[in-house]
């Protein structure tokens, strides 16, 4: 999947890249719901949602960004 997305990105077709990634994500979500796969390799972790509360703030503070 990553190789396909990189090919689209290399062409500079960023809007197409966004649509292809979204469609692939939808397909994987359906596959999860029907028990065909266990995870969605297309999703990108969102730091605010995937870290315990307060973690992002402490990381930014240590890096001198907050």
At 62, the pLDDT band (50, 70, 90 cuts) reads: low
pTM of the predicted protein model: 0.62
pLDDT at residue 32, as a whole number: 92
pLDDT at residue 10, as a whole number: 93
The secondary structure of residue 40, as a DSSP letter, is -
Which range of residues forms the domain containing residue 9?
2-62
Q: With beta carbons less than 8 A apart as the criterion, state whether 23 and 5 touch.
A: no
pLDDT at residue 41, as a whole number: 87
Q: What is the pLDDT of residues 10-58, one digit of tens each?
A: 999 999 999 999 999 999 999 999 999 998 888 866 655 665 666 666 6
pLDDT at residue 37, as a whole number: 92
- As for how many domains the chain has, the answer is 1
């Amino acid at each position: 999947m990553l190789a396909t997305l990189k090919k689209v990105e290399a062409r500079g077709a960023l809007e197409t890249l966004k649509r292809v990634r979204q469609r692939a994500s939808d397909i994987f979500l359906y596959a999860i719901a029907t028990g065909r796969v266990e995870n969605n390799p297309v999703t990108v972790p969102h730091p605010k949602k995937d870290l315990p509360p307060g973690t992002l703030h402490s990381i930014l503070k240590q890096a001198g960004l907050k």
